[in-house]
Every structure is written in C-alpha cells, then in structure tokens.
Amino acid sequence: MLKNKGGILYLVGLIISIVIVIVLYIKYSEDPVIDEQVNDVKEVSSFDPEKEKELKAQADIFFTSISQVPKEDIPSNKIALGKMLYFDTRLSLDGTISCNSCHDMNTYGVDNLALSPGDTKELGNRNSPTVFYAHLHSMQFWDGRAKDVEEQAEGPILNPVEHNIPSGEFLAKRLREVEEYQTLFKEVYPDSAQPITFATITNAIGAFERQLAPMSRFDEWLDGDKDALSTHEKEGLKAFIDNACITCHNGPALGGSMLQKFGLYGDYWEHTKSEVIDNGVFDLSKNENDRYVFKTPGLRNVEMTYPYFHDGSVESLEEAVRIMGKLQITNELSEEDVKSITAFLKALTADVDDEFKQQ
Ligand code: HEC
Ligand code: HEC
C-alpha cells in the first residue's frame, strides 16, 4: 500500500516537473528577449512596465495568491475549540507539551530548534516544519506520510517522542472528564452521541490550522500592487523562476505538493554537514527509488522558520539557497542570484493575527 502510494506520488511529482520544464522551455525559446535578460541581470534591474508585465505573467503560471485560495466555511466555535486543543498540554501524557511547544504561534509556527524535545524530553529525528500554510500542502510530514492536517494531527499525539499519548481512546477519555470540553464538543458536534472522540479532536485541531494563512507582500504583488515588492525582490523572483526553482517550489504554498530527491546532483550531507543520513521516503516504502526523497517544503515564511532542511542542519537562509543551487538544479547559482532569491524569499514573510496566538 505505502510502497505504491510513495511510488505514485513520486512519479506524479516527476511528471509535473517535466511538464513545467517543457512549458518554460517553449516559452523561452519563443521569446529570445527573455534569454538575453537571463544573461544580463542589470538589464532587468529597472523593471520597466513591459518587463514587469512579463514577470507577472510568468509568476501567475506558477504561483497563487493567498487571496485566491478558496476560504473554507468553518464555524467559528469549531476554530475556537481547535485553538484550545492546540494550546492544551493535557494532550501530552505528562502534561508538559502542546502542539504550540514545537509549533509556536508567536514564532511563525516553529520552535527554531534543529530537533525538538517531546513530552519525555527525548529529541525527535526531524526538524519541526511550520504549521502556517500547511493545509495548503497536498501531503504532510517530511516524507508526505499523512494526507491532510487532520490526519497529520494523530501522528504527534501518539508519537512516543512527541505527545506520548498511548492511544486515541486514552486521550478521548481524558478530555471527556473536562467539563469545559464536554460543553464545547457538544456544541460543535451536536449530532454525535459521544462528541469527544479522537476523530473530533483531530478534526477541530485541523479547523484551527486551516486559518493560518496570512497575506504576504508577494501576495499583494500577485494581486496587482506593483510597489509591494522592491526591484531587488523582483530580480529575485525572476531568478527563482529562471533557475527552475519553480519546478518543485510552486503553487500557493511554493512547495508542499511533491516528493523529490534531496541531492539530485550530489550527496546532500556533504553540503548540509548532516550528522545522520536520513533515507526519507525509503524508510517507509523500502523502494530504492525513494532513497533520500523528501517532501518539497513550502517556502512561505522561510525567513523565520530556520534552521533549514529535514534535520535543521543549516542555519542561514542564504546558505540553504546556495545548497539548493548546488544540489537541485543543473547550474550553480551566482552569488548575485543567491542574494536576490534570498531577498525575494523574505518578501514571503507574514504573521498571523493576534487572535490565533495564546491570550
Ligand atoms: C515535540 C515536538 C512536536 C509537537 C509537540 C508537535 N509536533 Fe508537529 N511536527 C513535529 C515534527 C518534528 C514534524 C516533522 C516530522 C516528520 O516529518 O517526520 C512535525 C510535523 C507537523 C506537521 C506537518 C507540516 C508539514 O509541512 O509537513 C503539522 C501540520 C504538525 N506537525 C502539526 C502539529 C499539531 C497539530 C500538533 C499537536 C497535536 C503537533 N504538530 C505537535 C514536531 C512536533
Ligand atoms: C527538484 C526539486 C527542487 C528544486 C528544483 C529546488 N528545490 Fe528547494 N527543496 C527541495 C526539497 C526536496 C527540499 C527539502 C530537502 C530536505 O530538507 O530534505 C527543499 C528545500 C528547500 C529550502 C529549505 C526549506 C526549509 O524550510 O527547510 C529552501 C530555502 C529551498 N529549497 C529553496 C530552493 C531554491 C531557491 C531553489 C532554486 C535554486 C530550489 N529550492 C530548487 C526540492 C527542490
């Protein structure tokens, strides 16, 4: 089952990449002007209206503004319940941690640690990704093993090095004893004889997570505000497209939709200096093609979600960008491109409203 799922997702990812590369190739070969621009960064630095129009047309192919993502109609009492659960340490065995311990709402949904300590203080083996925008991904976790944020939430609760809860039923029983939860769950799930179950707990947490998608300056630019990005950031966006970063980092989350090998042009640990070599999807599927395959992470808020990569092995965003240039694309990035791409990525930074933070 898993083996097939991983294989198919990988294949689909690969096919999408190939199609995008072909589309790009056709676009470029039709328009020699763009080719010249690639070779001469200075020429585009002014961003006259024509060039800006071209860049916008390209960006519209690969990205989606948050304003264009359909809003789900989720009742506000469900979101409030999800928020309460998200911050509640009763969701861990010894009552020491909550979702917020590793995915802190005050720090863009991460803890900024390479690896996170769980309920027993033991460290996990992968870096905590941000929960912001995670619902826009088509799969969850570094190896894509859960399909959505609701299914994902079961994982940390039952994980011995995270919340360390022995079973879903154990947690449901514990929360049934809390009077406030009895009332709130009944309001949100009125049709169930027993409203507090592991499924309703994770469903409510998912509802809260689905609200975490603030607008960034890049979205404002995609929506037509030309001044929302500086010239340097626009150069970075152009370099991001021209260097084929968009083959993997595209869509509304700038990633999160495909499994890809980390290290297409070299061994990743030589560059990241990772202490442990993580096999990625291979550990689930045992399929040789899945070795070192990971979910392409979304890049929104990447400025704030350091340290980088599945093991948090790299501290600096510039260095992460440089490594991507060495490992994932055919030509190494110039230092000029590393700088402008980094500037562009910083324009993706956006914080959630205070209502989602702990009061
Ligand atoms: C002890 C730290 C810790 C706690 C507590 C924790 N997580 Fe995580 N979370 C992680 C780590 C580490 C990963 C990545 C694991 C992997 O990919 O194998 C992760 C992954 C995720 C993802 C996937 C994001 C993506 O881009 O793939 C979501 C969503 C998430 N957690 C939500 C939650 C929720 C909701 C809770 C509370 C029920 C929670 N987490 C509790 C550490 C934690
Ligand atoms: C072939 C697919 C692919 C291409 C092309 C690609 N990336 Fe990535 N990117 C990935 C994968 C997979 C990871 C996660 C690697 C890991 O940590 O295991 C990643 C991780 C990243 C990260 C770290 C994110 C984080 O939260 O840890 C950044 C930054 C990044 N990529 C930027 C870029 C830039 C800039 C380019 C273009 C120069 C690029 N990527 C091209 C697949 C790709």
Does 93 contact ligand 1 (Cβ within 6 A)? no
Q: Of the residues 301, 328, 339, which should be mutated to test ligand 2's pocket, given the most ligand atoms within 8 Å of the CB?
A: 328
- Convert the pLDDT of each residue in 21-56 to its tens digit: 666 556 555 444 444 444 444 444 568 899 999 999
What's 163-183 look like in SS3?
Answer: CCCCCHHHHHHHHHCCHHHHH
CATH H-level superfamily of 76-209: Cytochrome c-like domain (1.10.760.10)
Ligand nearest to the CA of 142: 1
Q: Residue 36's pLDDT is what?
A: 42
Dihedrals φ, ψ of 58, to 5°?
-65, -45
- Convert the pLDDT of each residue in 176-211 to its tens digit: 999 999 999 999 999 999 999 999 999 999 999 999
Q: Residue 34's pLDDT is what?
A: 43
**260 CA: nearest ligand 2 atom:** 12
Say if domain 2-62+216-346 classifies as CATH 3.40.50.720.
Answer: no
Residue ranges covered by each domain of the chain: 2-62+216-346, 76-209
Q: Residue 316's pLDDT is what?
A: 98
Spatial distance between the Cα atoms of 337 and 314, rounded to a whole number of angstroms: 19
Q: Is it true that 2-62+216-346 and 76-209 share their CATH fold?
A: yes
Q: Residue 359's pLDDT is what?
A: 74
pTM of the model: 0.89
Q: Of the residues 88, 94, 102, which should be mutated to test ligand 1's pocket, given the most ligand atoms within 8 Å of the CB?
A: 102
Residue positions annotated with a catalytic role: 162
Quick one: angle between helices 231-242 and 49-62, nearest 10? 50
Spatial distance between the Cα atoms of 271 and 321, rounded to a whole number of angstroms: 12
